[in-house]
């Protein structure tokens, strides 16, 4: 038996035979050609086909993994329309008289290297996206069938790495698990595997091609894979897998039950979603509402500024479908790790500390008003909350409310119907925590964005994988800030929730309840496990560990 360690993407057990996937080797000639016009047409045809494929992958990923995970394929489709990339490729064909295959390889590789050398970790990761679309175009030029990756039998797929496109094309019904030599826990492939509920290991450095056809077990709990496991070990892990299956079935029995502790304390458990396509997940997992609708995906999935009507239709669909449940929509949070070309953002040395979220909105008021008008119109169709991100001062919040009031007045003059709505603030900086009492006087609720709050409190770039050893998501400073925010909100009679990743951290659920949190908003698939934990807590008993403020 061989034991190889890696980094676990998802806690779980996968048992089966390994299928080693090798990306096809493409022999690209440097020979010159005479028919440049023909090669230009070949390239354009392959590129158009690649765009169609990326759009199809987007639709598939929506179903398999949700809006957040699918968004990368919309970005890929937009990259394939990039003028600089197209011009560079066409120029190599036209002026240097090279084949379309050679031109794509050189032009796309050069563009990927530009991204790879950037200081911003998010932009560096875009190099992988360039290589992914390069492979898509080359596959079309070579006539390679990219649909067959794993064969026709259930298997654990092993590879050096998998692109997002390759991951989504996998037949989920035949996919038992994934092992890659490279990759990271924050890569698109890891996110997709996690969203699809597939046990996976990345950075399995000792994985090898000789494993093809061997029996294996991925143990996501212990971050390792057993090759040709002993019978006793296989028997033990099968029992663990059966236990996991039964536990998932038991969780389904929690549908329709309340999020109430043993001693009678009830809190709201909401869902975080990326857009209207995730509404089904909200209903399927029995969420009490939507605590975070990430409206930036409306912008990320568009090729130009989305119109008021386009935004209104997206917001109305969510609000109307889920009524009377509350749907809290965060205003545009573009910037930092989320960029769109058509907004022509100025390159910043440190975008996480730059023009992002509400700072963009308040400096581009016409842009902001388009979204606010759409939100106000949608409020007539259900229970809407409007939430402003990255607020660090009372002045900013008041300015947002003034612009919102202007929009409401304009719509009423136009005879448009507006419903009631709540106004909330995301608490995601130490500054917001320190003035939480002042902000609470100006709004109806707080939602704590623990991802950014942790980043800004600990001075750790959450996009930088190299800082993982220094990142403590349970840091006492972060927990104290959460407690301070809850207390400030309650002093002024408003409810307080958490919509960041810590909301789904079951090790902290009791801590948050003892702090007095009113709502937790999490990934839809985390709702029932969270409900189970809540229903097993007895707040009348002394805690095993003291909370930060006790």
- Position 420 in a domain: yes
DSSP letter at 500 equals: S
Same domain, 467 and 326: yes
Residue 298 and residue 438 in one domain: yes
Locate 337 and state its tokens: 């790790």
Strand ranges, E, within 107-241: 155-159, 175-180, 200-202, 215-219, 224-227
* Digitized pLDDT (tens) for each residue of the chain, 550 residues in all: 899 999 888 778 999 999 998 877 778 888 888 899 999 999 999 999 999 999 988 888 877 767 667 778 888 999 999 888 999 999 999 999 999 999 999 999 999 888 888 766 666 777 888 988 998 999 899 888 766 666 778 999 998 888 878 877 777 788 899 999 988 776 767 777 777 778 999 989 888 888 999 999 999 889 999 999 999 999 999 998 988 888 778 778 888 999 999 999 999 999 998 877 678 778 888 999 999 999 887 887 777 888 999 999 889 989 998 999 999 999 988 765 556 677 777 777 777 787 788 998 998 999 999 999 999 999 999 999 999 999 999 999 999 999 999 999 999 999 999 999 999 999 999 999 999 999 999 999 999 999 899 999 999 886 676 787 888 889 999 999 999 999 999 999 999 999 988 999 999 999 999 999 999 999 888 899 999 999 999 999 988 654 444 4
Phi, psi of 249 (to 5 degrees): -65, -40
Dist. CA 185–CA 468, nearest whole Å: 10
Q: Does one domain contain both 227 and 324?
A: no
Verify that 137 and 152 share a domain, yes or no: no
153 shares its domain with 138? no
DSSP bridge pairs for 2: 227
Residue of 76, 98, 155, 188 marked catalytic? 188
Q: Is residue 544 part of a domain?
A: no
* Domain region containing 180: 2-23+148-233
Whether residue 463 contacts residue 121, with contact meaning beta carbons closer than 8 Å, is answered with yes
Q: Are residues 199 and 137 in the same domain?
A: no
pTM of the predicted protein model: 0.62
Last residue of a domain, one of 112, 142, 172: 142
Residues 204 and 307 in one domain: no
Give SS3 for 281.
helix
On whether the CB atoms of residues 199 and 177 are closer than 8 A, the answer is yes
Q: Same structural domain for residues 18 and 125?
A: no
Active-site residue, 499 included: yes
Q: Is 155 annotated as catalytic?
A: no
Is 444 inside a domain boundary?
A: yes
CB 341 within 8 A of CB 78: yes
Q: How far is CA 476 from CA 27, 447, 463, 511, in A?
A: 55, 19, 21, 12
> C-alpha angle 528/534/537, rounded to 5°?
150
Which residue, of 183, 198, 233, is where some domain finishes?
Answer: 233
Give yes or no: residues 517 and 474 share one domain.
yes
> In Å, how far are 127, 266, 270, 433 from 393, measured between CA atoms?
37, 32, 27, 10
Asked if the structure places residue 204 within a domain, the reply is yes
Other beta carbons within 10 Å of 130: 23
CATH code of residue 41: 1.10.274.10
Report phi then psi at 105, rounded to 5.
-60, -50
Q: Are residues 332 and 380 in the same domain?
A: yes
The enclosing domain of 16 has a CATH number of: 3.50.30.10
Count of the separate structural domains present in the chain: 3
Beta bridge partners of 227: 2, 216
**Residues 80 and 132 occupy one common structural domain:** yes
- Between the two ends of the chain, the Cα-to-Cα distance in Å is 50
Coil, strand or helix: which one is 65?
helix
Residue 280 lies in a domain: yes
Q: What span, in angstroms and rounded, lies between the C-alpha atoms of 157 and 134?
A: 23
Tell me, what CATH number does 327's domain have? 3.20.20.60
Same domain, 42 and 191: no
Asked whether residue 29 is domain-assigned, the answer is no
In a domain, 437, yes or no: yes
């Amino acid at each position: 038996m061989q034991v190889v360690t890696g980094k676990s993407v998802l806690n779980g057990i996968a048992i089966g035979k390994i299928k080693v996937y090798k990306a096809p080797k493409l022999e690209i000639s440097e020979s010159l050609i005479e028919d440049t016009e023909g090669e230009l047409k070949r390239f354009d045809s392959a590129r158009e086909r690649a765009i169609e494929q990326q759009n199809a992958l987007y639709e598939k990923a929506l179903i398999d993994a949700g809006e957040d995970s699918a968004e990368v394929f919309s970005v890929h489709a937009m990259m394939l329309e990039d003028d600089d990339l197209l011009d560079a490729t066409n120029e190599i064909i036209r002026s240097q008289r090279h084949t379309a295959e050679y031109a794509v390889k050189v032009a796309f590789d050069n563009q990927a290297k530009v991204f790879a050398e950037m200081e911003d970790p998010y932009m560096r990761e875009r190099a992988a996206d360039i290589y992914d679309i390069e492979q898509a175009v080359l596959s079309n030029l070579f006539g390679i069938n990219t649909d067959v990756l794993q064969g026709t039998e259930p298997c654990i797929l092993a590879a050096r790495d998998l692109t997002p496109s390759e991951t989504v094309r996998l037949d989920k019904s035949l996919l038992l698990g994934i092992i890659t030599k490279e990759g990271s826990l924050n890569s698109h492939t890891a996110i997709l595997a996690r969203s699809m509920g597939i046990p996976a290991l990345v950075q399995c450095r000792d994985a090898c091609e000789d494993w093809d056809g061997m029996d294996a077990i991925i143990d996501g709990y212990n971050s390792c894979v057993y090759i040709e496991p002993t019978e006793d070990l296989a028997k033990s892990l099968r029992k663990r897998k059966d236990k996991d299956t039964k536990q998932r079935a038991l969780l389904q029995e929690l549908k329709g039950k309340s999020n109430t502790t043993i001693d009678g304390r009830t809190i709201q458990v909401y869902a975080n979603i990326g857009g209207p396509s995730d509404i089904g997940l909200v209903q399927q997992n029995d969420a009490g509402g939507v605590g975070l609708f990430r409206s930036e995906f409306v912008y990320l999935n568009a090729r130009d500024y989305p119109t008021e009507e386009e935004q209104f239709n997206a917001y109305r669909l969510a609000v109307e479908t889920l009524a009377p449940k509350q749907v809290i929509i965060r205003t545009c949070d573009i910037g930092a790790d989320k960029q769109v070309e058509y907004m022509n953002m100025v390159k910043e040395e440190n975008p996480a500390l730059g023009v992002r979220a509400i700072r963009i909105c308040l400096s581009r008021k016409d842009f902001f008003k388009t979204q606010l008008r759409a939100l106000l119109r949608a409020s007539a169709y259900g229970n809407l909350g409007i939430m402003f991100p990255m607020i660090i001062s009372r002045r900013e919040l008041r300015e947002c409310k003034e612009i919102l009031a202007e929009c409401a007045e304009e719509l009423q003059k136009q005879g448009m119907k507006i419903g009631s709505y709540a106004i909330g603030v995301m608490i995601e900086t130490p500054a917001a925590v320190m003035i939480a009492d002042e902000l609470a006087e100006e709004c109806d609720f707080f939602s704590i964005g623990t991802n950014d709050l942790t980043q800004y409190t600990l001075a750790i770039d959450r996009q930088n994988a190299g800082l993982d050893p220094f990142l403590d998501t349970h840091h006492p400073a972060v927990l104290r800030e959460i407690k301070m925010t809850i207390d400030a909100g309650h002093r002024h009679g408003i409810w307080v929730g958490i919509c960041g990743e810590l909301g789904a951290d079951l090790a902290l659920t009791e801590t948050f309840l003892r702090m007095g949190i009113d709502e937790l908003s999490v990934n839809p698939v985390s709702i029932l496990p969270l409900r189970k934990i809540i229903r097993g807590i007895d707040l009348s008993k002394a805690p095993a560990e003291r909370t930060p403020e006790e």
